[in-house]
Amino acid sequence: MTFAQRLHTVQKKSNSLLCIGLDTDMKKIPKHLQSKKNGVLEFNKQIIESTKDLACAYKINFAFYEVMGKDGWTIIEKTRALIPSSILTIADAKRGDIGNSSGYYANAILHELNFDSITVAPYMGKDSVQPFLQDEKKGVFLLALTSNEGAFDFQYQQIGHRKLFEEVVAISQQWTTNENLGFVVGATKSTDIQSVRKLAPAAPFLVPGIGAQGGSIEDVVKYGCTSDGFGVLINASRSILYASNGKDFADAARNEAMKLRDEINFFRKRLIR
């Protein structure tokens, strides 16, 4: 089963396009956990336990863990082990290098840590991305159109008759036939998602920018989903993780995740009528 096939199966079975970002910040977790040695891991555990029936994927942003040194890597490994095998895992590591470096990154994250997929930067081109694409069961989300303000520095530069982000999408699809290449497309660039979908009709999209960043769920579903209402992982992090800073944080996270899942599905039903 290719990554794209597995993603479709997981989303159909869970009836969810929601991806929960475990961008866990020690400074923002409830105070009763900040003083605990394994506070971040305990926080992640409770978030996963309270939301695992609502999400199709969890995304772990490596930066929030790498800052903790070797302890952070241990937490990544243990958090990954807490996520049920029926749910996809995304290593938000934004790797991308040439030659053996990319090969080692791919092996470390996709095989040693056993993540199902990874975010990769395309700036260094084909040979920096292909090592991540070798295993058809493992997915790659290539940074195409991001939700930050700096996206306008390069991504919207005109290259011939296309913008640079459109060139990235068009050219990179020639690098694999394994049905495991997807794209990161920011929710705050709603109408431009349509441009990416036209260039990549079947590719999965990882869409950050919902929730705290203010992206439109309706627009993401309308412009990003495939005609059958799948193909998009809509990520929310802060709005779910920090829905409460008290001991009820896991229940509050569940309520927020359910709200988002249901809102996404409301617009999906309108799409596929």
Distances (CA, A) of 134 to 32, 111, 179, 180, 238: 44, 12, 11, 9, 33
Find out whether 90 and 119 touch, Cβ atoms under 8 Å: yes
Task: State the burial class of residue 158 (Cβ atoms within 10 Å of its Cβ: 0-12, 13-18, 19+).
Answer: exposed
CA angle 54, 228, 7 (to 5 degrees): 50
Residue whose token pair is 């409301």: 266
**151 membership: H or E segment, kind and range:** helix 151-154
> Alpha helix (H) ranges present in 36-150?
39-51, 63-66, 70-82, 100-106, 126-129
Find out whether 245 and 31 touch, Cβ atoms under 8 Å: yes
Integer Cα distance of 189 and 168 in angstroms:
16
Reported residue count of the chain is 273
- Residue among 78, 94, 137, 222 flagged as catalytic: 94
Q: Between the CA atoms of 171, 172, 176 and 180, what dihedral angle is there, to the nearest 10 degrees? A: -140
**Helix and strand element counts for the chain (H, E):** 13, 10
Give how far the C-alpha of residue 262 lies from the chain's centroid of Cα atoms, to the nearest Å: 19
Q: 94 an active-site residue?
A: yes
Q: Which residues are catalytic?
A: 94
